[in-house]
């Protein structure tokens, strides 16, 4: 069922910019239109392009935001959250904890 919803009306998570738009709803309480506009502005793409895997995979690779099939030497997991937090200007709770625990 989750897969059908994703095909019918989903943004696509890390295949596109779904996780980034989700972070703006979660951290700033933005509505979908506002969140898409904010993320699109930060990525220098149009709101429609946020759901385009071709455009977004290139932007994600360039900006080190994480890919679903990451090549060697690319960012993965917590590493990508550093770049996401900086790009979007938000605090990520797990990143805050990681910095505290690792003494960064």
Partner 1 sequence: MKKIRTRMGDSSLVELTEGELKREFEEGTQDAAERGKIPAITQEELDHLFDIYSSPSRIAGVEMGNEVIFTYDSTCGEVQRTLTPIDRTQSLQLFERMLGADTVELGHNDYSFKAVKPVISYERNVLEQALLITTVPVLYGAMPNLGLYYRPEGPVQNPSELMAAGKINEAREAHEEAIEYAVKDMVFVASELYESGVDAIDFDTTGSAGDPDFLATLRAVEILKKKYPEFCIEMGMSGEFVLGMHGELTYNDVRLAGLYPHQQIQLAEKAGVTIFGPVINTNTSKTCAWNVARVVTFLKFCVEQSNIPVHANMGMGVGGLPVTPFVPIDAVSRASQAVVEITRLDGL
Residues 45, 55, 63, 78: which binds partner 1 (CB under 8 A)?
A: 78
- Taking the complex as a whole, how short is the minimal distance between the CB of residue 65 and partner 1, in angstroms? 8
Instruction: Please identify which residue in the block is written with the tokens 């996780």.
Output: 19
* Binding flag, residue 57, partner 1 (CB under 8 A): no
- Taking the complex as a whole, how short is the minimal distance between the CB of residue 100 and partner 1, in angstroms? 10
* Binding flag, residue 13, partner 1 (CB under 8 A): yes
- HSE-CB at 104 with a 13 A cutoff on CA atoms is 8
DSSP string, 56-102: HHHHHHHHT---SSPPTTS--THHHHHHHHHHHT---HHHHHHHHHH
Residues of the shown chain interacting with partner 1 in the complex, contacts defined by CB under 8 A = 1-16, 18-19, 21-23, 25-27, 29-32, 35, 47-48, 51, 65-66, 68-69, 76-78, 80-81, 84, 91-98
């Amino acid at each position: 069922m989750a897969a059908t919803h994703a095909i019918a009306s989903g943004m696509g998570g890390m295949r596109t910019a779904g996780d980034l738009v989700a972070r703006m709803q979660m951290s700033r309480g933005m509505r979908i239109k506002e969140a898409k506009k904010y993320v699109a502005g930060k990525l220098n793409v149009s709101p429609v392009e946020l759901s385009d895997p071709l455009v977004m995979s290139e932007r994600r690779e360039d900006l080190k935001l994480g890919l679903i099939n990451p090549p060697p030497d690319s960012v993965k997991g917590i590493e990508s959250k550093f770049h996401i937090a900086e790009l979007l200007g938000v605090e990520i709770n797990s990143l805050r904890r990681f910095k505290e625990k690792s003494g960064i």
